[in-house]
Amino acid sequence: MLDQFQRFGSDLFYRGLTSSHGGNMSVRMGDRIIITRTGSMLAHLTENDLIEIGLHEDDSNIMLASSELVVHRAIYLNTSALAIVHVHPPFAVALSMCVEDAIIPMDSEGSYLFRKVPVLHAETTVGSKEVAKIAAQVLREYKIFMLRGHGCFSIGPVLEEAYQWCSSLEESCKIGYYTHTLRAAQAAISQRGLGGLEYRKHADDYQEW
């Protein structure tokens, strides 16, 4: 179990999907949950960073468990998920603040995998009972959602799949961002010509080379 947490934790950080101490992961094993320790570094997880706690009821380990435990529990209790990943992918978080209620991937892969990713709003977004309630509902229909300005929660039967949704969503958001940026550049070029953006002399002439 530890090696899986370490593998995907490391990937999540080094692929830029979360910050040094951000994000959390869990798996459900019957009536128990294994969740990352609050404040742990996903890229450097050790045995002491995996906290076992009840699915239904708190025990002493509540002092160590991730602050998002309340959301993880609600998801497990209301969906068929056996694994959850929560991270703060920067492109997806930025985009979540620029759309109303959903991110619609433009790229083929994202569209195929998600079609759309709901964006939920809440006043308090960390360890929030309000988020727990809406997350559990939305994940009955979707495998991932964005919490506006915060991050995504994704589910799967195993950690790898939950990780995949985060990774794919971020890729779609990146593609969307690059596409919009390049389109804006193209629009500028068509208005002003390449010379408007280029630093080189005769930039427009290279078309004729």
Partner 1 sequence: MYGWTGKMLRVDLGMRSTKVEQIDEEILSLFLGGRGLGAYLVYTEVDPDIAPLDPENILAFCAGAMTGIRVPTGGRASMSTLSPLTGTIFDGNSGSQFGVRLKWAGYDALVISGRADTPVWLEVDEEGAQIHPADDLWGLEIPEAVGQLKPPNSAVVSIGPAGENRVLFASIADESGRCYGRGGVGAVMGAKNLKAIRASGKARAAIADQEIADFVKYEAGKMVKASPRTSQGLPEFGTSVLVNLMNWYGVLPTNNFQIGEFEQSEKISGERLRDEFLTKRSACWSCPIGCKRITKTKKEKGEGPEYESIYALGSSLGIDDFEIIIEANYLCNRLGMDTISCGATIACAMELVQRGALDSELAFGRADLLLDTVKDIAYRRGMGDQLAEGSKRLSARYDMPETSMQVKGLEMPAYDPRGMQGQGLLYATSNRGACHLRGNMLGPELLGAPKMLDRHTPSGKAGILIVLQHTNAVIDSIGMCKFVNFAIGDDFFARLMTSITGREYEAQDLQLAGERIWNLERLYNLRVGFTHEDDTLPPRFLDEPLKEGGSAGHVVHLAEMLADYYRFRGWTEDGVPTPRKIAELGLAELAKEQSHA
From candidates 43, 55, 70, 175, binder to partner 1 by CB under 8 A:
70
From candidates 63, 99, 104, 158, binder to partner 1 by CB under 8 A:
63
Please tell me whether residue 58 binds partner 1 under the rule CB under 8 A. Answer: yes
Please tell me whether residue 127 binds partner 1 under the rule CB under 8 A. Answer: yes
From candidates 39, 157, 193, 196, binder to partner 1 by CB under 8 A:
39
Please tell me whether residue 31 binds partner 1 under the rule CB under 8 A. Answer: no
Nearer Cβ to partner 1 (128/168)? 128
State in angstroms the smallest separation of the CB of 64 from partner 1: 6
Q: Please give the single-letter amino acid code of residue 152.
A: C
In this structure, what token pair is assigned to residue 140? Answer: 């009955």
Please tell me whether residue 22 binds partner 1 under the rule CB under 8 A. Answer: no
Stretch that binds partner 1, among 60-68, 84-92, 137-145, 155-163 (CB under 8 A): 60-68
Please tell me whether residue 126 binds partner 1 under the rule CB under 8 A. Answer: yes
Buried b (16+ CB within 10 A) or exposed e, 149-159: ebbbbbbbeeb
Please tell me whether residue 59 binds partner 1 under the rule CB under 8 A. Answer: yes
Q: In the range 78-107, which residues lie near partner 1 by CB under 8 A?
A: none
Please tell me whether residue 34 binds partner 1 under the rule CB under 8 A. Answer: no
**The Cα angle at residue 138 between residues 149 and 95, in degrees rounded to 5:** 25
Nearer Cβ to partner 1 (70/175)? 70
Binding site for partner 1 (CB under 8 A): 21, 37-40, 48, 58-67, 69-70, 124, 126-128
